[in-house]
Amino acid sequence: HPFVVGITGGIGSGKSTAAKFFEELGIPVYNSDTRAKLIQNENSEVKAKIIAAFGEEAYDENGLNKAYLSKQVFQDNEKLKVLNSIVHPAVFKDFEAWKIAQQTPIVMKEAAILIESGSYKDCDLVISVMVDKEKRIARTMERDGLTREDILARINHQITDEERIAKSDVIIDNNSDLAHLKNEVEQALMNIKKKMASH
Ligand code: ATP
């Protein structure tokens, strides 16, 4: 079985950008958010459970009605737990199958909520990408066209930097430019290989 590296970070931290650099270095990356969306749209067992819990409005002609579901769970922790209890085990199973199909010694699992979902526990090593709050806000505003208030609401909904650091084995700093991030990724990969040798 390959060595599983989890990568996470808060909104706009640059985890997707960092994961792309790892991919360029030959590490296959599983994008949990993309796969979770696919599973919610295509896995009939998951769809049936979501409809049973959230009603027919959970899907429309375009598939999963993300706006409706997000609204349902954003302010209601119990509903969020219900949704997670449907989606997380399906993503876990999907990841296990994907992992075994990879023919590399290291694989990477990218997830915005790697720590919150508990799936960091299934990783051999956890990386967090960290950026100062103001920089994350600026980058996310530029990327998504959201307001500062929207982004702050999301940041306040996520775990704190301190909680993230406490659960991480390796920290990648993304406060500088992309060349710096790439260098951080190269350093992290050397670090991972050292830790693998002593695993
Ligand atoms: P989310 O969880 O919100 O999807 P993410 O952690 O995957 O975010 P990215 O999408 O990789 O973050 O990065 C956020 C934005 O910041 C993107 O537009 C990306 O191009 C930009 N970005 C990432 N790293 C840097 C950097 N070092 N310098 C400038 N811009 C950057």
pLDDT, average across residues 149-167: 94
Q: Is 130 in the pocket of ligand 1 (CB under 6 A)?
A: no
| Spacing, Cα 61 to ligand 1 middle (Å) | 31
Q: What is the pLDDT of residue 13?
A: 97
Alpha carbon nearest to ligand 1 atom 16, residue? 139
Local confidence band at 74 (pLDDT 50, 70, 90 cut-offs) = confident
State mean pLDDT over 122-128.
97
User: What confidence score (pLDDT) does residue 88 get?
Assistant: 94
∠ at Cα 41 (65, 27), nearest 5°? 115
Q: Which pair of tokens denotes residue 192?
A: 């991972």
pLDDT of residue 28: 98
The pLDDT, as a whole number, for residue 186 is 98
The CB of 17 under 6 Å from ligand 1? The reply is yes
Ligand 1 atom 17: residue of nearest CA = 143
| Any atom of ligand 1 within 6 Å of the Cβ of 112 | yes
Residue 199 has pLDDT above 80, yes or no: no
Cβ of 16 closer than 6 Å to ligand 1, yes or no, is yes
Q: How far apart are CA 114 and CA 112, in angstroms?
A: 6
Please report the pLDDT score of residue 151 as a whole number.
95
| 29 sits in which H/E element | strand 29-31
Does the structure's ipTM exceed the value 0.95?
yes
> How much is the pLDDT for 34?
96
Q: How far is CA 156 from CA 65, 87, 113, 140, in A?
A: 24, 23, 14, 15
Residues in the chain, overall count: 199
75 pLDDT more than 90? no
Q: What's the pLDDT at 15?
A: 97
**Phi-psi sector, 29: left (phi>0), alpha (psi -120 to 50), beta:** beta
pLDDT tens digit sequence for 19-63: 999 999 999 999 999 999 999 999 999 999 999 999 999 999 989
Tokens of 120: 């960091």
Residues in contact with 101: Cβ distance below 8 Å, sequence separation at least 6, in sequence order = none
**Alpha helices by DSSP H, 111-174:** 133-144, 148-157, 161-166
pLDDT at 198: 83
pTM as predicted? 0.93
- Helix or strand (DSSP H, E) at 134: helix 133-144
Q: What pLDDT is attached to residue 92? A: 95
Confirm if 141 and 148 have CB atoms less than 8 A apart. Answer: yes
Distance, CA 177 to ligand 1 centroid (Å)? 11
From the CB of 35, is ligand 1 less than 6 Å away? Answer: no
As a whole number, the mean pLDDT across the chain is 95
The predicted structure's pLDDT at residue 157: 87
Arithmetic mean of pLDDT, 73-94: 93
